[in-house]
Amino acid sequence: MMAQKQTPGLILSMLIVCAGAGAAEEAETKSFSKKPAGTLKTHGIFSSNMVLQRDKPITIWGWAQTGRKVSVQFGRAKAEATAGDKAGRWEVTFPAQQANATGQKLTVACGDEKIEMENILIGDVWVMNGQSNMAFGLRATYRADLEAATAHLPLLRRVGLSPNESETLQVDIPADKITGWTVCTPETAGGFSSIGYAFASRLQRALRIPIGIIDNARGGASIESLVPRHKFKDHPLAARYLAWVDKRRAEFDWDAAVQGLVARWEKNLAKQRKKGVPEDKLPPKPTRKDLRSWSVPGRSPSDAASCYNGMFGVLKGVNIKGVLFHQGFNNAMSSVCRPKRYRVLMKLMVQGWREDFNDPTLPVGVIGFCAGSIPQTRDNFEVWSVSGGAYIREAQRLGLSDLKDPTHTAFLPAYDIQIPGLHPKKKQAHGVRAARWALSRIYGMKIDWDTASLVSAERRGDRMVLTFDKGVMPDDMSMVLGGFSIADKSGKFYMAHAAHPLEKDVGIWNTANKSCDTKRVYVWSPLVKEPVAVRYAWATSPMGNLKVNGKQWLPLHSFRTDNWDWPESEDPAESLVDRAKSRAMNQEAAERCEYRRLEEAKRAVEILERLKTLGKDKPKGG
């Protein structure tokens, strides 16, 4: 047993709360434990090696036989509560403590029953939420060998939740759905989410306090499933969507769904019997419990609040420092892509987290939808510009901006970290960039992190002139700017040429940072004589090499100056981009791409001559 050392100046007084869930909450929750009624239990989030949030009240709760007294001791502090309501819920709250790297013991007793947990630290707790690219483990990503080998970090801890979606808000986590808290070592680091490890390990080393991460991302989750249910009523688009989900659930034919499982089971049974499998070894007949959550309206990871109910909201009562969020793939697919709704839900999601976890300024960092498709190039530029993913990135950024809280929130572009595949293995940079943001803006350290915004876009002659509030340039200081497209009033975008205005011409020694006005960019195409709009880094895995102040870790976010939106219906049951529409959009883009390539070949000399002066001559009025 570890020796206990109490934090200096601990106030030994305590708050005693005889708590019970209200009738409304009880009505919307499921059974929380498979243990016999009356058995002493703490909430599943509590275990040895955990990290509790510093500088906020420490609440411990669980269940026991109704009416019984429960005694709780944490370190030297003691508190008592009485198990209330039918479920026997009890709760105690201790005063906030400062960070403490010395393990403390938590003891919970009720009559002859006792629960003991050891090596509990006080520090900062961050939640790693989203879908599979956030959940992706360190051991499966690039540089895992070096990261794990150097993971001697006893003050870094992790707890993980496995898929536990639910139609209703849960009050506890089943034991088989949570890992328990793990101390970070070279042997255990591979089980941490890769982004979570890169983020939290940098925080722990920089702050030199305990850091805990809660890995509760769910593979395949749509943003709809990650928003607290009570927030859907706050916006007409969200409310209409929730009503549609509830209607589908009410009309769901359980028997028909189970019968499909039974039919497959019967076929399998016949095959097994032919092979001579003994009767007692045959699989049991499937029931409702065997239906995949994806098949059940309201429980599916695509449906309202389902993942929040069982994997995030179930933690209500635990204080946290902040949330790092990474999601987007399941909302970017053409047939389900609804950027307007996504923007609304992004704002509602963060507001809901802040309400449920009693922190109106809860820090939230959103890592943009990752680039896991075929990279955009000159040869396929227009084709890959047909992208729901680009609109989802925009919705993520704008939804976060709608909170009007830049002090505690940040959108972290991720499109420049590219590798084909559903689960790109380049994860470390995402976590490191997020750590830069958190250490700089949330913790106030002198760490370089910044953003840049487009101030204006106006037509000057045959080009568009973009002005930014900060310098933007390639991180290698190249004079070649990539990732822009341009369109006239037809709305047809073509890959464009771009250049900074040249202020000091030293010939072959020109570099963007020393020779150019990097707050302005001229965008031009020989195919667009009267431009009205520009897009930048607008694809699933886009071209785009501009970085804020030329810093490799600060990519300029993708943007557009037009209002030609992705086709989207306010009716949740209607998709405006079915397979036929998607094929037509891609075919038109392919024809546009081929036309541009042919025209560029024909007019190569003209283009080369124009590029010699694009950044040198002053644009005329439009």
3-class SS at 253?
A: coil
Selection from 163, 109, 168, 105 nearest residue 132 by Cα: 163
Work out the pLDDT band at 619, boundaries 50, 70, 90: low
Q: Model's pTM, two decimal places?
A: 0.91
Separation of alpha carbons 322 and 362, rounded Å? 6
User: How high is the mean pLDDT of the chain?
Assistant: 92
Beta-strand ranges (E) seen in 327-475 are 364-367, 409-412, 454-460, 463-468, 472-473
Report residue 36's pLDDT band, with 50, 70 and 90 as the boundaries: low
Instruction: Kindly state the helix (H) or strand (E) to which residue 105 belongs, with its residue range.
Output: strand 100-110
Cα torsion 11, 13, 18, 24 to 10°: value is: -40
* pLDDT above 80 (res 490): yes
Task: Report the percent of the chain where pLDDT is more than 90.
Answer: 86
Q: pLDDT at residue 3 above 90?
A: no
Give yes or no for residue 575 having a pLDDT over 50.
yes
Q: What is the pLDDT of residues 235-267, one digit of tens each?
A: 999 999 999 999 999 999 999 999 999 999 999
For residue 423, pLDDT beyond 90: no
At residue 485, what are phi and psi to the nearest 5 degrees?
Answer: -135, 160
- For residue 27, pLDDT over 80 is answered with no
Could you count the other beta carbons within 10 Å of the beta carbon of residue 12? Answer: 11
Question: Would you give the DSSP letter of residue 84?
Answer: B
Asked if 12 and 77 touch (Cβ cutoff 8 Å), the reply is yes
Residue 28 has pLDDT above 70, yes or no: no
Q: Domain coordinates of the chain in residue numbers?
A: 15-215, 223-248+293-442, 454-613
Both tokens assigned to 152: 């001697």
CATH number, domain 223-248+293-442, options 1.20.1260, 3.90.550, 3.40.50, 1.10.8? 3.40.50
Rg of the Cα atoms in the chain: 28
Largest alpha-carbon pair distance within the chain? 90
Out of 2-6, 79-83, 135-139, the most confident range is 79-83
Q: What is the pLDDT of residue 419?
A: 76
- Tell me the three-class secondary structure of 137-169, residue by residue: EHHHCCCHHHHHHCCCEEEEEEEEECCCCCCCC
d(CA 579, CA 444): 49
pLDDT in the model for residue 371:
75
CA nearest to 153, candidates 196, 95, 115, 113: 196
Say if residue 163's pLDDT is above 50.
yes
In the Cβ-directed half-sphere of 79, how many Cα atoms lie within 13 Å? 24
Confidence of residue 18 (pLDDT cuts 50, 70, 90): very low
C-alpha 195/C-alpha 147 separation (Å) is 12
Rounded to an integer, what is the distance from CA 615 to the centroid of its chain? 39
pLDDT at 23 over 60: no
pLDDT at residue 7 greater than cutoff 50 = no
How many other C-beta atoms can be found within 10 angstroms of the C-beta atom of residue 2? Answer: 11
- How far CA 584 is from CA of 297, 386, 587, in Å, comes to 31, 11, 5
**Architecture of the structural domain at 15-215:** Sandwich (2.60)
What pLDDT score was predicted for residue 418?
A: 78
Distance CA 611, CA 137 (A): 46
What mean pLDDT is predicted for residues 282-310? 95
pLDDT at 507: 84
CB half-sphere exposure, 375, CA atoms < 13 A: 10
User: Residue range 22-34: average pLDDT?
Assistant: 37
Cα(35)–Cα(49) distance, rounded to whole angstroms? 23
pLDDT of 9 above 80: no
Q: Give the pLDDT score at 374.
A: 87
> 157-161, 487-491, 500-504: which has the minimum mean pLDDT?
500-504
Whole-angstrom CA distances from 297 to 174, 321, 349 are 22, 33, 20
List the beta strands (DSSP E) in 206-354.
Answer: 211-215, 322-326
**Token digits of residue 194:** 């890769």
Average pLDDT over every residue of 493-499 = 97
> Hey, what amino acid is at 231?
K
What's 319-337 look like in SS3?
CCCEEEEECCHHHHCHHHC
Residues 148-162 pLDDT 10s: 999 999 999 999 999
User: Can you tell me which residue has the tokens 């993913």?
Assistant: 389
Q: Is the pLDDT of residue 11 over 50?
A: no
**Nearest by Cα to 51 from 275, 246, 204:** 204
Better-predicted residue by pLDDT, 556 or 31: 556
Q: Which of 15-19, 133-137, 232-236, 574-578 has the weakest average pLDDT?
A: 15-19
Indicate the pLDDT class of residue 26, thresholds 50, 70 and 90. Answer: very low
Q: Are 229 and 308 in contact (CB under 8 A)?
A: yes
Mean of pLDDT values over 128-139: 94
What are the beta bridge partners of residue 15?
A: 93
Burial tier of 429 (Cβ tally within 10 Å: 0-12, 13-18, 19+): middle
pLDDT at 38: 67
Residue type at position 186:
P
Instruction: Encode burial over 312-338: b for 16+ CB neighbours within 10 A, e otherwise.
Output: bbbbbbbbbbbbbbbbbbbbbebeebb
